[in-house]
């Protein structure tokens, strides 16, 4: 009878465990799996020692978020004062800040040299970059599908990459920022924002996108501002 009672107790415990697994919440499951991964030494991307050091050297995430939001609001005011609000779009995301600078203030057609009109907009962005000196910054160059073929730019890929690099060099060498923070890439004509069927849409596709990666997403952040997929 004692052995039989022990077996019944174990079976009851087993079925209770099965029921609890079947009704577990997704968030609790993810937290439990995250704890298990950390215990086993498997760390998610950007949450290793370097990421922890950034948070330790920097400010608390909530404080940084508030300051970034205030800075973005001031940036938008500055852009409006200079009449650049249509050419420069700023969006807060769960991972940082997404900035789109569109044609024609940055470059002339088929060229990768920054125009004088681009400097005020880039200086405003540089002020935001200085707020998060440890953040990673990715600059993407995009073009329309108008074909180009020259000794310097055999295709739109080379042109878009050169334009992104021009922006990175401005931040690194003209504004004195750490070059290790930046990465430049070119997507050519292959990630358009609009169909290349009109001059207006083509101008939308000729753009540079800047992604400022600050901290890992946290619950409750960015709930009162416009969100973006990136």
DSSP for 57-79 reads HS--HHHHHHHHHHHHHHHHHHH
How far apart CA 97 and CA 132 sit, in angstroms, is: 11
Task: Provide the phi-psi class of 15: left if phi over 0, else alpha when psi is between -120 and 50, else beta.
Answer: alpha
Burial of 144 (0-12, 13-18, 19+ CB in 10 A): buried
Residue 125, domain CATH: 3.30.1330.60
Task: Tell me what pLDDT residue 196 has.
Answer: 94
- Look at residue 213 and tell me whether its pLDDT is greater than 80: yes
**For the residues 117-146, what does the mean pLDDT come to?**
90
Residue 54 in this model has a pLDDT that exceeds 60: no
Q: Which of residues 107 and 221 earns the better pLDDT score?
A: 107
Report the range of poorest mean pLDDT among 19-28, 100-109, 140-149, 155-164: 19-28
Indicate if 64 and 24 belong to the same structural domain. no
Task: Identify the band that residue 21 occupies on the pLDDT scale cut at 50, 70 and 90.
Answer: low
Number of structural domains in the chain:
2
In this structure, are 11 and 34 located in the same domain?
Answer: yes
Q: Is 104 left (phi over 0), alpha (psi -120 to 50) or beta?
A: alpha
Contact criterion met (CB below 8 Å) for 105 and 79: no
Residue 11's domain comprises 2-42
Whether residue 37 sits in one domain with residue 56: no
Q: What is the DSSP letter of 206?
A: S
Express as a percent the part of the chain with pLDDT over 70: 73
How big is the CA angle at 176 (ends 173 and 182), to the nearest 5 degrees? 70
Q: Using the predicted structure, report yes or no on whether residue 139 has a pLDDT greater than 60.
A: yes
**What's the pLDDT tens digit per position in 78-94?**
778 877 778 888 888 88
The pLDDT score that the predictor gives to residue 115 is 93
Answer whether residue 142 is part of any domain.
Answer: yes
77 domain-assigned: yes
- Tokens 């050519």, residue? 188
Q: Is the peptide bond before 104 cis (omega within 30 degrees of 0)?
A: yes
Q: Is the domain of 94 the same as that of 152?
A: yes
User: 209 pLDDT band (50/70/90 cuts)?
Assistant: very high
Buried b / exposed e along 61-99 (16+ C-beta atoms within 10 A): eeebbeebbebbeebbebbeeeebeebbbbbbbebbbbb
Residue 82 phi, psi dihedral angles, 5° rounding: -95, 5
pLDDT tens for each residue of 24-47:
555 555 665 565 455 444 444 444
Same domain? 98 vs 119: yes
Which pLDDT band, with edges at 50, 70 and 90, does 160 fall under?
very high
Q: What gap in Å lies between CA 160 and CA 142, rounded to an integer?
A: 5
144 sits in the region (left: phi over 0; alpha: psi -120 to 50; else beta) called beta
Tokens of 88: 């420069």
When comparing pLDDT for 9 and 169, which is higher? 169
């Amino acid at each position: 009878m004692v052995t039989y009672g022990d077996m019944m107790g174990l079976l009851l415990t087993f079925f209770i465990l099965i029921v609890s697994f079947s009704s577990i919440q997704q968030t609790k499951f993810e937290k439990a799996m995250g704890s298990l991964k950390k215990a086993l030494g498997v760390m998610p991307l950007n949450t290793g020692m370097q990421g922890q050091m950034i948070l330790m050297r920097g400010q608390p995430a909530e404080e940084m978020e508030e300051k970034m939001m205030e800075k973005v609001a001031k940036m938008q005011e500055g852009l409006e004062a200079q009449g650049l609000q249509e050419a420069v779009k700023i969006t807060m995301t769960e991972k940082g800040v997404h900035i789109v600078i569109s044609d024609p203030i940055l470059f002339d057609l088929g060229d990768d040299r920054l125009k004088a009109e681009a400097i005020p907009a880039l200086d405003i962005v540089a002020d935001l970059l200085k707020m998060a000196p440890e953040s990673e910054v990715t600059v993407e160059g995009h073009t329309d599908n108008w074909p180009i073929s020259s000794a310097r730019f055999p295709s739109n890929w080379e042109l878009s990459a050169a334009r992104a690099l021009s922006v990175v060099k401005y931040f690194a060498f003209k504004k004195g920022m750490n070059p290790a923070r930046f990465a430049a890439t070119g997507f050519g004509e292959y990630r358009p924002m609009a169909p290349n069927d009109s001059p207006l849409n083509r101008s939308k596709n000729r753009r540079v996108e800047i992604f400022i990666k600050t901290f890992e997403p946290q619950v409750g952040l960015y709930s009162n501002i416009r969100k973006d997929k990136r």
